[in-house]
Structure 1
Amino acid sequence: MIAASGDGPINFLVIGSDSRESLPDDFGDFGSFGGQRADVIMIVQLGDGEAKILSLPRDLRVEIDGFGTQKINAAYAFGGAPLIVRTVSQFTGLPINHYVEMDFFGFASIVDELGGIEVNFSEPARDLKSGLDVQAGRQVLDGQMALAYARSRQYQEYRNGTWQSVDASDLGRITRQQSLIFGMLAAAKRPSIVFDAGSILSSVGDHVTIDDAIGRSTLIELALAMRNLTPSQIQATTLPTTPGTTGGIYYLIADEPAASEVIAVFSGESGLVESTEPLRLRVLNGNGGAGQAGDWAAALEAEGFVVESTGDASAFDFPVTQFQARPGEVGRAEELVAALGFGEVVTGTVPESVDVLVIMGRDALER
């Protein structure tokens, strides 16, 4: 692997392979095929008091040494870790300092070793194929359910009395995967986890691969560095792309100049790319008070936010108003808390058409 230089940020290439080997039969139906591919491709950058996550869609069109124009996940199948590291580095221009790879069973095992990870769900959700089945609200997912969430291709939410398919694209899956990374980082802050990082990785054996330069002391140092990170100090984004075809093959093609602007943030050539568009909101009544969603939607619109829709939450027992943001929008969601003067920001699932889901809690009745 490429060695880190100086005291600058460290880039990890995190690969989730779709190997089904050793996966118990009761872990849901993920299909079968020959070979092994990179199903999740992320660059995780750890710097001074912050972390950044850049997700690369697996259908991203790239040039692979010796193989020409291909989808980026093919690099892993063609040449394993060395080739996908080189391909990602050449495409982004970013050095890759360390490499972490895990298969399905390794991911699920790490989640269980962490004691589960917390994810917020705005509505009851399911995927009949992957086995996902959760209620609305804050849920602690075990390894099996976290894997079902990350792998869901037929994701449904229970809205207005019916099950509706939502965010079924690969980009929707990436957002869910980023939510899980946030949850794993939060779980890893616990002191018992920080000093047991090495043994946790050892316990999952061949299902997780890390490069030789990462020792136990390095893992502990990284875990200690992450303990003080707040959600607003962790930024997650997906490389901007547009669908297209080359030679009759479907690809996601880097959308320029937006893609280069995002990569520039990770290379240190520019600051964080802030959206100039107003936040899009969905406001839900989570306290049962008459007209709560509509009244607070009007108040938020008066502050300059865009309310796409209103409705009732899955329950009326939310004690505290939640501003539920997708990964990467936490900082902007905090603007909502500042505007209203109450509530809390959490990360979790958010409808594709909005940036932040607002669930009015009982604290809103006192305003």
Structure 2
Amino acid sequence: MPAASPPPRTTRRRARRITIALVCVGAIGAAAYGLLSSHLPYKSVDVFEALGDDRPSAAPDSTGRTPLNILLIGSDTRSGDNAAYDAAGDQQIAGARSDTMMVVHLSADRRSATVVSIPRDTLAPRPPCPLRDGRWTPAARQATINMALGVGGVTCVVTTVEKLTDLRIDHVVQVDFVGFARLVDAIGGIEVTLPEPIDDPYSGLHLAAGSHLLNGEQALAFNRTRHGVGDGSDLARIGLQHQFLTALWHKLDAEQLLFDPVQLQRILRTAGSAVTVDSGLSSLDAILNLGTRLHDLSAQEVTFLTMPHAPSSADPNRVVPAQPRADQLWLQLRTDQPTTALDGPG
């Protein structure tokens, strides 16, 4: 059988050109990915460096793996673009408070997660907090926990939550009003179903009973509303936030948005500087790595709780951890055990 004749010279040239073009495109893409990954527009801060070693430790399981605790902070700052959300319209609300605060506990095997909301009106000891100029704020024996953000920034929130829970916080994500709305719009909205209508002139949320695809502005109002649900308290609002996060996780999981670097980068760029993270999450690679850890976690394996609490005897408008249930909950998370019926008021 005669040997096959070599391909025409023009064909070989074309093949070489295609190969070179593909290599160039790949190299440019890799370089662009690295460049964009290192210049994401959100803020990162060295949250933990100033706290030193006097912090709770993370106990590994029998395989050497450790749980992961992420602190989610919703800031009510009215600075910059957030001034539009000042109800008075004249920025009378100064400073910033962490009006939403959740500890997300990922089990050591990454097969389950527990999200615990800490009511914003919780009275708790506030340790001294380090400031950027090297000074420390004075400690407070009892202070409203959502004020820690205005006193000493994100680091002060972390040290206060660690003091309250004895849980080691590994990562922090802080989002303000504008950032939250942008993130929801970037992922195409979130669908929720309401058993009853919500009519809240304070947040501007007016929804009939039934299913709704919420855009960014509506989702923000949904998570802020309290006058239109339950007893009108912050505790009633927490229930809506848990419902929203459940729907959010369903969407992230269904569309694999945490595992697609192109989509994830687009979402993060949309949120921009309205998002603040600790320096350990300052790159796209770090966030993708975190998303990979959540790959096998379904929405059914995420439990939403509210820290056990009771009215404060000193101020009926404030709450305190309900003991011993609050300490039992934190102990279960600290030792990476399944949480039992320790939720809510009591």
Q: CA deviation at 1:192?
A: 4.6
Q: State how far apart, in whole Å, the 2-side matches of 1:28 and 1:121 are.
A: 27
2:233 is equivalent to residue 169 of structure 1: yes
Larger radius of gyration: 2
Tell me which residue corresponds to 1:113. Answer: 186
Q: 1:136-151 maps to which residues of 2 (within 5 A)? A: 136-151=209-224
2:139 is equivalent to residue 67 of structure 1: yes
Tell me which residue corresponds to 1:53. Answer: 115
Q: CA deviation at 1:230?
A: 2.8
Tell me which residue corresponds to 1:162. Answer: none
Q: CA deviation at 1:116?
A: 0.7
Contact 2:48 2:155 in 1 (8 A): no
Higher helix content, 1 or 2: 2
Between 46-55 and 227-236, report the one with greater CA deviation: 227-236
Q: 1:128-277 maps to which residues of 2 (within 5 A)? A: 128-156=201-229, 166-189=230-253, 190-192=255-257, 194-195=259-260, 196-214=263-281, 215-246=283-314, 250-268=317-335, 270-274=337-341
Q: CA deviation at 1:44?
A: 0.8
Cα deviation digits, residues 20-55 of structure 1 (max 9, x gap): 230374x68477411111111111112321111011
TM-score, L = length of structure 1: 0.67
- Judged with a 3 Å threshold, the aligned counterparts in structure 2 of structure 1 residues 56 and 128 are, in CA distance, closer, same or farther, namely same
2:98 is equivalent to residue 12 of structure 1: no
- Judged with a 3 Å threshold, the aligned counterparts in structure 2 of structure 1 residues 24 and 116 are, in CA distance, closer, same or farther, namely farther
Q: State how far apart, in whole Å, the 2-side matches of 1:30 and 1:101 are.
A: 24
CA RMSD of aligned residues (A): 2.6
Q: 1:292-311 maps to which residues of 2 (within 5 A)? A: none
Cα deviation digits, residues 221-271 of structure 1 (max 9, x gap): 33344344333200010111111143x684211111111121122112643
Tell me which residue corresponds to 1:23. Answer: 82
What are structure 2's unaligned runs of at least 5 residues?
A: 1-46, 50-57, 128-137
Q: CA deviation at 1:274?
A: 3.6
- Judged with a 3 Å threshold, the aligned counterparts in structure 2 of structure 1 residues 79 and 272 are, in CA distance, closer, same or farther, namely same
The residue type paired with residue 243 of structure 1 is: P
Contact 2:117 2:307 in 1 (8 A): yes
Contact 2:184 2:219 in 1 (8 A): yes
Relative CO higher for 1 or 2, CA cutoff 8 Å, sep ≥ 6? Answer: 2
SS of 1:204's equivalent? Answer: helix
Cα deviation digits, residues 275-312 of structure 1 (max 9, x gap): 7xxxxxxxxxxxxxxxxxxxxxxxxxxxxxxxxxxxxx
2:101 is equivalent to residue 41 of structure 1: yes
Q: State how far apart, in whole Å, the 2-side matches of 1:100 and 1:143 are.
A: 18
Q: CA deviation at 1:201?
A: 1.8
Q: State how far apart, in whole Å, the 2-side matches of 1:83 and 1:24 are.
A: 24
Between 84-93 and 29-38, report the one with greater CA deviation: 29-38
- Judged with a 3 Å threshold, the aligned counterparts in structure 2 of structure 1 residues 120 and 202 are, in CA distance, closer, same or farther, namely same
SS of 1:13's equivalent? Answer: strand
- Judged with a 3 Å threshold, the aligned counterparts in structure 2 of structure 1 residues 194 and 167 are, in CA distance, closer, same or farther, namely farther
SS of 1:206's equivalent? Answer: helix
Contact 1:28 1:148 in 2 (8 A): no
Contact 1:59 1:72 in 2 (8 A): yes
- Judged with a 3 Å threshold, the aligned counterparts in structure 2 of structure 1 residues 135 and 194 are, in CA distance, closer, same or farther, namely farther
- Judged with a 3 Å threshold, the aligned counterparts in structure 2 of structure 1 residues 137 and 250 are, in CA distance, closer, same or farther, namely closer
Higher strand content, 1 or 2: 1
Contact 1:51 1:235 in 2 (8 A): yes
SS of 1:41's equivalent? Answer: strand
Q: CA deviation at 1:203?
A: 2.4
